[in-house]
Amino acid sequence: MIFTSQVFLFWFLPAVLLGYYLLPFRFRSLFLTLVSYVFYGWWRVDFVLLMLVSTVIDFICGRRIGRFNEQIDVGVAADEQVVFDRKRKRAMLFSICANLSLLGYFKYWNFGIDTLNVMLGAAGFTAVRWTDIVLPVGISFYTFQSLSYSIDVYRRQAPAVRRFVDFACYISLFPQLVAGPIVRYQTLAAELVFRTHTWEKISRGAFLFQIGFAKKILLADSFATIADGAFAIDGPTTYQAWLGSFAYAMQIYFDFSGYSDMAIGLGALFGFGFPINFDSPYKSQSITEFWRRWHISLSTWLRDYLYVPLGGNRRGKVRTYINLMLTMLLGGLWHGAAMTFILWGAYQGAFLAIERIVGKRSLYPALPKQLQIALTFVIVLGGWVLFRAVSVGQAGEFLSAMAGFGGDADAAALVLSSRQVGGCILGAAIVWLLPNSQQLAESRWSLPQIVVSAAFVVAIAQIFVSSYSPFLYFQF
């Protein structure tokens, strides 16, 4: 089930909202947990069991860590404290190993077998036969979210959950279950126990859901047609390569920020305050700034649970650059088991390291602000080519064409209609000239409300005539 489907919009969401507000508060978290499992099980019921196993493991580990924390806090002998601390660490490591094992098996087994078969074939050996593993939707997101809880309880940055239903609700909340934001437990801890429901919060949530819905249907899906057409061309011209990379940059932005808007909006409808995940990233003047604005929940997760534990910037300049590269390489691998994602991570890490050398700022500070933004966007486009390409060869072909060494593809293979041209202009205006969704939601003007409501109605009409279009980040 997806947010933009008729089943979700006209049946699931109204029924869940009605049931939620009719129930006494003490039953609402349990109700949300059950309907979230229905939402997730819409694809495959067996994947619900996988998420439940992960939830049970981390709940038990968190309770165990919390119990040892309490025993240490009340005051024990030094030798007992060492024992308790060792047991705390074992529980945390068990949680980490269990979660990463599940994620590794389902997400990277196929990639590992394919890589092994390439090596075996090159050596003249018979390939290993294996049935492909199906990747559970959203496993990367809820695994990272669940992992952050165990680690934060160990670090004493979050309390251990007392009730299993609260933790199950936290892990399975359907608004942000399959594509984020990645929410830390301490962010929702108080709201899992008690949360307020006001008309102001509900209206803001409805507005964000509408704007995210319109982003996805009217903009992201339109840009997807252009991007898919460009990346299907063999030997694209320079024009086709630039147009395709621009279209994909717009597609992934409106697709993922649209989902995040809907997730935050839905969370508000049920009384939860999810953190923002996008802050006008294409207005960045450097790649360092870009990663403060793009997929904020992932970039902060990578910083706090990978970069800092690796040593961060505390072990000298060379180690800092190595840590940045390792963090972004792993961030690229988190997105998918393919060499293109690894190269994308290396590409991002290299620019972050270079900017760190010059003081975590733009590489072209003397240029006017708008030109800095434009050059940073060009760098981002190069990364999106690696991210979108189906192979390293196609990425190289596209980047070569963008550098002026275009192929000899038919110029008629990618001709935009007047409607598509208008869509490109509108998308660029929204990205660079208008306030972002959060700013509009805080605005007291009535015009944005009217425009967004009209766009939402048009988008609803569109889903009746368009084909199924899942969110891009569902595949991660």
The catalytic site residues sit at 335
> In degrees to the nearest 10, what's the CA dihedral of 238, 243, 244, 245?
90
Q: Which two tokens stand for residue 68?
A: 């040892």
> In degrees to the nearest 10, what's the CA dihedral of 248, 253, 254, 256?
110
Cα 250 from Cα 244, distance rounded (Å): 10
Query: pTM here?
Result: 0.92
Contacts of 357 (CB under 8 A, 6+ apart): 317, 321
Q: Which of 266, 197, 179, 262 is nearest to 471 (CA)?
A: 179
Angle between helices 447-463 and 199-214 (to 10 degrees): 50
Write down the pLDDT at residue 475.
66
Q: How far, in Å, are 7, 26, 44, 84, 146 from residue 73 at the CA level? A: 50, 31, 44, 11, 25
The structure tokens 């072909």 sit at 397
Greatest Cα pair distance, the chain, in angstroms, is 79
Write down the pLDDT at residue 118.
77
CB 181 within 8 A of CB 277: yes
The structure tokens 């994909």 sit at 248
Handedness of CA 264, 185, 475, 245 (dihedral sign): positive
Cα 223 from Cα 123, distance rounded (Å): 43
Handedness of CA 409, 413, 418, 421 (dihedral sign): negative
Q: How far, in Å, are 84, 164, 199, 383 from residue 351 at the CA level? A: 43, 43, 45, 10
Write down the pLDDT at residue 349.
93
Asked whether the bond before 181 is cis by omega within 30 degrees of 0, the reply is yes
CB 101 within 8 A of CB 139: no
Per-residue confidence in pLDDT tens, the chain, 476 aa: 788 888 999 999 999 999 999 999 889 999 999 999 999 988 888 889 999 999 999 999 999 998 888 887 777 677 777 888 888 899 999 999 999 999 888 888 888 787 777 787 777 777 777 777 887 888 888 899 999 999 999 999 888 898 999 999 999 999 988 877 899 999 998 999 888 888 989 999 999 999 999 999 999 999 999 999 999 998 899 999 999 999 999 999 999 999 999 999 999 999 999 999 999 999 999 999 999 999 999 999 999 999 888 887 788 788 888 999 999 999 998 888 889 999 999 999 999 999 988 887 788 888 999 999 999 999 999 999 999 999 999 999 999 999 988 777 777 778 888 888 998 999 999 999 999 998 888 877 788 888 999 999 999 998 888 766 777 766 66
Write down the pLDDT at residue 93.
94
Cα 17 from Cα 9, distance rounded (Å): 11
Write down the pLDDT at residue 409.
75
Cα 301 from Cα 316, distance rounded (Å): 22
DSSP letter at 236? -
DSSP H helical segments within 270-368, as ranges?
Answer: 287-293, 296-302, 317-335, 339-357
Write down the pLDDT at residue 340.
93
Residue boundaries of the structural domains of the chain: 6-114+129-195, 201-285+362-468
Handedness of CA 47, 101, 267, 440 (dihedral sign): negative
